[in-house]
């Protein structure tokens, strides 16, 4: 059983929802980012998303874009991102790690080589936002063969005709984007999210995790109450970008995790 599947089994047995946190590798610098990542499990995070910085993050809002720029300016690379995961694995071999980013750095490395390195580092899943289902042969299917989950995003514009295509090779969980547009924009509305989550769950047995627009413990609770859990990224990254200490960032993450777990 994969770490992701095992974590959802554990959460189900405990009757709890999942809290997923996103941080950018190398932001604001390599060492601080590693301290944050390694502190996330202790702050109540069930699954960690580690961002792979890229020069043209077309799906990301200003907060994540700036984080990627800071990371790249500080010298963060694909290898450095994998080293961040390795650092976590020295103290934690159970918390699932999902690498989130864009295809170009992976393509440049070579899919087979990348998957071998990712598996060796301890990566459990991938979210690659610029590879649609029509391109599954590029990375999705090879990743599944390498026993790395390929997590797909569904959005408010994913209609019933498109949904089966989105789900066909998805594994680990489905990431439902609660609002249209880029990361960090707007606020998630549980009353609007609930029917969409129900629609997706009627078509798959995979857990559905909701992201975008969640900034408070109350929002984490409300969204998790209508889904299998929630993701927070921009709100955490914003605090990192403002120069908050690792302890303060992790305290904020803990408040969000407690909110999600209270659903």
60 in active site: yes
Give catalytic status of residue 145 as yes or no: no
Q: What does the chain look like in DSSP terms, one character per residue?
A: --HHHHHHHHHHHTT--EEEEEEETTSS-HHHHHHHHHHTGGGT-SEEEEE---S--TT--HHHHHHHHHHHHTT--HHHHHHHHHHHHTT-SSS-EEEEE-HHHHHHH-HHHHHHHHHHHT--EEEETT--GGGTTTTHHHHHHTT-EE--EE-TT--TTTHHHHHTT--S-EEEE-SSSSTT-S---HHHHHHHHHHHHTT-SS-EEEESS--SHHHHHHHHHTSSEEEE-HHHHHHHHTT--HHHHHHHHHHHHHHHHT-
Strand arrangement, sheet containing 18-24: 149-150, 125-128, 97-101, 47-51, 18-24, 229-232, 208-211, 174-177, 153-154
Exactly one of 27, 30, 46, 60 is catalytic; name it. 60
Q: Which of 49, 222, 228, 238 is catalytic?
A: 49
State the catalytic residues: 49, 60
């Amino acid at each position: 059983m994969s770490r992701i599947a095992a974590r959802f089994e554990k959460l189900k047995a405990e009757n709890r929802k999942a809290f997923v946190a996103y941080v950018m590798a190398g932001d604001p610098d390599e060492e601080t980012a590693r301290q944050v990542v390694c502190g996330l499990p202790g702050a109540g995070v069930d699954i960690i998303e580690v961002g792979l910085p890229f020069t043209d993050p077309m799906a990301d809002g200003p907060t994540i874009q700036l984080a990627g720029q800071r990371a790249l300016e500080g010298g963060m690379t694909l290898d450095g991102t994998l080293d961040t995961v390795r650092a976590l694995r020295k103290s934690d071999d159970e918390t699932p790690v999902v690498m989130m980013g864009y295809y170009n750095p992976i393509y440049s490395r070579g899919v087979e080589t990348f998957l071998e390195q990712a598996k060796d580092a301890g990566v459990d899943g991938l979210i690659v936002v610029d590879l649609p289902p029509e391109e599954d042969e590029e990375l999705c299917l090879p990743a599944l063969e390498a026993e790395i989950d390929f997590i797909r995003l569904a959005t408010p514009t994913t209609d019933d005709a498109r949904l089966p295509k989105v789900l066909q090779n998805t594994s680990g969980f489905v990431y439902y984007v609660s609002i249209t547009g880029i990361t960090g924009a707007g606020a998630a509305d549980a009353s609007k999210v609930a029917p969409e989550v129900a629609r997706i769950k009627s078509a798959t047995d995979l857990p559905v995790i909701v992201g975008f627009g969640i900034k408070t413990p109350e929002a984490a609770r409300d969204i998790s109450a209508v889904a299998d859990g929630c993701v927070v990224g921009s709100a955490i990254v914003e605090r990192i970008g403002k120069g908050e200490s690792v302890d303060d960032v992790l305290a904020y993450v803990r408040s969000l995790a407690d909110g999600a777990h209270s659903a």
